[in-house]
Amino acid sequence: MTSLGLSKRATVVDNTIRASAGDRVFMVINYVLLTIILLIVLYPLVYTLSASLSDPSAVITGKVVLFPVDFSLRSYEKIFNYPSIINGMLNSLFYTVVGSSVSIVLTFLAAYPLTRKDLPGRRFFTILFFFPLLFSGGLIPFYLVTRDLGLVNTRWALIIPTALSVWNLIITISYLRSSIPEELWEAAQIDGCSDIGYLMKIILPLSKSLVAVLFLVYAVAQWNQYFFSLIFQTNPDLAPLQIVLRNILILNKIDLGMIADVQRLADQQALQEQLKFSSIVVASIPVLMLYPFVQRYFVQGLTIGAIKG
Amino acid sequence: MGVMRSSETVQPAISVRSATANRGSLSHLLLQIRRRWQLYLLLALPIAYIITFAYIPMIGAQIAFRDYTVAGGVWGSEWVGFAHFERFFNSYQFTRLITNTISLGIYLLAVGFPIPIILALSLHQVQALWFKKLVQMVTYAPHFISTVVMVGLILQMLNPRFGILAQLTTALNLPQANAMSRPELYQSIYVWTDIWQHMGFSAIIYLAALTNIDPALHEAAVVDGASRFQRIRHIDIPGIMPIATMLLILNFGNFINIGFEKVLLLQNPVNTSVSEILDTYVYKIGLASPTLDFSYATAIGLFKGVIAFLMVVVANYAVKKMGQESLW
């Protein structure tokens, strides 16, 4: 109903008073500008996909311009037979699932009490959590704490030290404040509901979309993370996908002997370059596939966190 | 508390009552704390986390004033005062690191701030909903690409043999160039690929602000014969001004904290003279060199941390002065 009314209103504005020539020129320029932006953003993505689906020699000789040349799935076959990529994917899956779950629990544990006005010392605890946004001890002391806790070279190194994001805490607090009325707590309290019971029975069931947003934010950050593995883990068995990708894409460290029986140097180089494109696709697809489904939630969550009240 | 104490001394007539109220409020507070024990139980784990990984490192930053040794640790190593800071200020790296950090930060802010606003204003004018959705969906997508993949993509696109740049220069009969081996291009590559990756996502907040503008304003302007451009200038831009000012000032306070993971990944031996910033230098000295100099690296990190802190405080003060909602 409302959307119908709104669109009707919009047409009234745009059609009954006929657009002037200047406005029409303006709109044409606007569409052209946006189309250019669209193409600039889209082209590298399409090119990467096409290159990964082409024949290696076509890629390296620059024959791929827009569409795949000599369509071939060989590089994907190779990628999925490359042990460190498979290992990296499994590790990243573990870090993403476990890490995001730990993070969400921790975020709610902090956010819920901080939204309760009857918590003695609420202001103190709020400052305690927010001050680290303004000042931090720096990378080295952070590293030393993690090292002294014995987390270096364990899987936990990628989960515990970065478990709570204060930005996500802010999003969560503003969501809870704006979407769950305080009267609910008063009513629940009269019914004899405990503080923890209120969190479990009222807050959590009412914040499903928030949990989805938090999972997405934490999961994307965890899946894309490489730096903390770089400083905390030297054991390649623990390496997440991004570290494996860094070796392939940026350091040019790829062991073709494990996956291909290519003798000629030129073929080797061609395959190596093409594997870069297919590994880019393979690493980005899980995140990009997830995103259209949750885009709505994501945008909502972001604007909730950003615009206070 | 302070108010109560002053009322006790200034007005003795009601001092008895306020004293009992004071005692009452104290026991009331204790009762409140006892009643809310479950909330403290919930808070215990996050507090343990934040103390361990945020506050203990702040205390640990004291090694910037010590000569850290493995045997001495954070508390037992010898005090050296400001020696590490002096060493840094006098080193040949100092000016270079500061220049690189500031110029990259300002470049990024100068380009990265207006473009999402222009994109949002432009998208807001689009009437064809499918087109608007398409542009939004495509421009948001790169935001989710990881830094490693992004840098890999940049290197492939700029590859002198087959990348887009090479194809373009061949088509136009221009001389071939390896962009990554030209230090003078480093900052532009960093900034413009950052725009490519994040402009759509950064536009979200402005689009949200634009949809919150009262449509009656636009209707009235149309009736008065305002052109689209005039409506953007006099309705849309003032409408997003509050949020834009706040973001600009906060970004300004934050601009020393450049996304250093990307800076690090885009580095190569040819471009370090422009690509070395404070953060990457701290990492290299402290964690990636054969002789790990924890104290020196911490001193440089602390120097940066203090500057960043002061800038955020000043920026927030400015936001407050302008009558906007501030951070605290």
Per-residue pLDDT reduced to its tens digit, B249-275: 778 777 777 778 999 999 998 998 999
Is A17 domain-assigned?
A: yes
Of B32, B52, B283, the CB nearest to A139: B283
Residue B325's pLDDT is 59
Mean pLDDT value across residues A19-30: 87
Mean pLDDT value across residues B171-194: 87
Mean pLDDT value across residues B7-25: 49
Mark yes or no for CB contact B301/A139 under 8 Å. yes
Same domain assignment for residues A269 and A207 = yes
Same domain assignment for residues A14 and A82 = no
Residue A33: domain span = 2-52
Mean pLDDT value across residues A80-98: 92
Mean pLDDT value across residues A89-110: 96
B14 vs B42, more confident = B42
Residue A129's pLDDT is 95
Is A65 domain-assigned?
A: no
Is A69 domain-assigned?
A: no
Same domain assignment for residues A233 and A182 = yes
Mean pLDDT value across residues B128-148: 91
Same domain assignment for residues A120 and A230 = yes
* Ranges of H-type helices in chain B: 2-10, 15-35, 37-50, 56-60, 73-76, 83-90, 93-112, 114-125, 129-140, 147-157, 164-171, 186-211, 215-223, 228-231, 237-254, 260-265, 272-275, 278-287, 294-321
Of B199, B287, B313, the CB nearest to A231: B287
Is A72 domain-assigned?
A: no
The 10 Å Cβ neighbour count of residue B93 is: 15
Specify the number of domains making up chain A. Answer: 2
Given a cut of 80, whether residue A263 has pLDDT beyond it is: no
Q: Which residue of B has its CA nearest to A44?
A: B157
B214 vs B196, more confident = B196
User: Does A246 touch chain B if contact means CB atoms closer than 8 Å?
Assistant: yes
The domain that contains A83 carries what CATH number? 1.10.3720.10
Given a cut of 50, whether residue A6 has pLDDT beyond it is: no
Confidence of residue A223 (pLDDT cuts 50, 70, 90): very high
- The CA radius of gyration of chain B, in Å to the nearest whole number, is 27
Is A66 domain-assigned?
A: no
Mark yes or no for CB contact A231/B283 under 8 Å. yes
Same domain assignment for residues A48 and A83 = no
B:90-149 residues touching chain A, CB 8 A cutoff: 119, 122-123, 125-127, 131, 134-135, 137-142, 144-149
User: Does B153 touch chain A if contact means CB atoms closer than 8 Å?
Assistant: yes
Report d(CA B104, CA B120) in Å as an integer: 24
Given a cut of 70, whether residue A1 has pLDDT beyond it is: no
- For the stretch B194-207, pLDDT in tens is 999 999 988 988 98
Which residue pairs, CB below 8 angstroms and at least 24 apart, start in A227-230?
A227/B261, A227/B264, A228/A157, A228/A158, A228/A161, A228/A162, A229/A157, A229/A158
Q: What's the mean pLDDT when you consider all of chain B?
A: 86
Given a cut of 90, whether residue A9 has pLDDT beyond it is: no
Apex A285 CA angle, A280 and A287, nearest 5? 115
Same domain assignment for residues A83 and A32 = no
- For the stretch A154-199, pLDDT in tens is 999 999 999 999 989 988 998 898 888 888 888 898 888 999 999 9
Residue B321's pLDDT is 79
Is A194 domain-assigned?
A: yes
Which amino acid belongs to residue B238?
P
Same domain assignment for residues A47 and A184 = no
Mark yes or no for CB contact B57/A227 under 8 Å. no
Same domain assignment for residues A149 and A211 = yes
Same domain assignment for residues A129 and A235 = yes
Mark yes or no for CB contact A38/B298 under 8 Å. no
